[in-house]
Every structure is written in C-alpha cells, then in structure tokens.
Structure 1
C-alpha cells in the first residue's frame, strides 16, 4: 500500500511578484530606413544659404534706423528687427530637428519636418523686409 504524497512546504517566506517581472522584454529597435538622410540634408542645404542672406540683411538693417528721430520714431522697424533675430535663431536651432525625426519616423514626417527651418528663415526675411519698408 502506498502512502499519499505530501505537498512540499517551503520554509522561505513568499514574496509578492514584482510588477516589472511580468512585463515582456522590449522588441529590438527598428532599423532606420534607407536614405532617411535625404530630406534633412536637402532642407539644410536650402535653408543655410537663406539663413546667411537673412543674417546679412539683419546686420545691415540698423541703417534703416538712421532716419529715426524723436519726431519720426521707427518703432515698427525696431520690432521687426527683434522679431527677425528671434525667428532666425529659431531657424538655426531647428536645423537639428529634421535629422532626429527623419531617422525614426515616416518619409512624410521627414520631408514635412525638414521644411520647418526653411519656413522660419523665409518668415524672418519677410518680417525684416516688411519692417524696414521694403515689402
């Protein structure tokens, strides 16, 4: 006659399962698309020369303020020069954004984001030209 098997009793205290232990491991990161760099490079090659033009115009724009006197204030021109400086700084800072996003997102996102520095640069030129009265 066989004796019934007794259940094994552990002498160690039981610990609750960790919430991190049940999570699955993350999948391997997706490999970047081929030729992801074309859109950011094209955007940078178009935007950089325009940014140089905008910087040149910004440096020359104080001459537009030579005719400003107490009787003829040029507040609009001063505001345009300040806005152009801010827009041009944003355009320079935004040159790195397309490189980061184009590598990780879709082709459309890469092309769309690559237009941000160009549009900020064109906006800075337009703001400056309107402010000094050439637009």
Structure 2
C-alpha cells in the first residue's frame, strides 16, 4: 500500500517589507505650506523699487569723483563705489534665493530669507551714501 503524499508547508514566515524599502508615493511626500509664495513675492516686490533707487545712485555716483585730483584724492569714495557695486550685484542675484526654502521649509524661514535681498540693497545704498559723504 502506498501512503498519500502530503504537500509540505513551510513554517518560515516572510518578513514584512520595511518602510525604508517601500516605494514612496506622492501622497507620502510632505506638502508645501499653504501660500508659501507670498513671502518671497512680497520680498521681491519691496526689494525691486529699492534696487532701482540703488542702481540710479550707483550710476550717478561717478560725479562724486569729479573733484578728485592729485591734491585731493578720493580713495574712500572709489572704495565705496566698488563695495556698493558688489553688494548691489549680490542683492540682484539673491532675488531668487528665498523661493526654494520658502516652499520646502517653514513659513518663518521663507520670511527670513525674503529679507536678504532688501537688506543687501539697503546696505549697498548706505555704503554708497557714506562713501560719497552724504551719510
């Protein structure tokens, strides 16, 4: 007589997939804060008119050097104009800086980063005015 063959059942359990190895779904990703774009937009809209004033002052500042001569050197004014140019270029380049952190981080980070272009622009104007003797 032959005995019936039973199927062998494995007693080993398969481990559950780890959350680190599971593919990420779009719903699992953190959503940006609501209205994240307001702080960078306000920062740019406030900084642009101030930057126009800074650009105008920078363009007319070489007239401050008209009175410079060998007897009356204007080294401080030339250094102030060069520093103002560097600060102004950094301010223009920093207009795009607040957009990424404002979307990815908290609202406070976005507001803080939005103040950078305005601060650099005001620093450039102050440096120029102090350098040409109006401050």
- Counterpart position of 2:21: 24
What is the aligned-residue RMSD (CA, Å)? 1.9
Equivalent-residue separation in structure 1 for 2:114 and 2:55 (angstroms)? 20
The aligned length equals 118
Equivalent-residue separation in structure 1 for 2:53 and 2:40 (angstroms)? 20
- Give the superposition deviation at 1:29: 2.6
- Counterpart position of 2:65: 65
Any unmatched runs of 5+ in structure 2?
A: 5-18
- Counterpart position of 2:10: none
- Give the superposition deviation at 1:23: 4.9
Q: Deviations over 1:63-105 (max 9, x none)?
A: 0000000111101000000000000100011110111110111
Q: Give the TM-score normalised by structure 1.
A: 0.81
Question: What are the within-5 Å matches in structure 2 for residues 53-132 of structure 1?
Answer: 53-132=53-132
Q: Give the TM-score normalised by structure 2.
A: 0.81
Equivalent-residue separation in structure 2 for 1:97 and 1:134 (angstroms)? 31
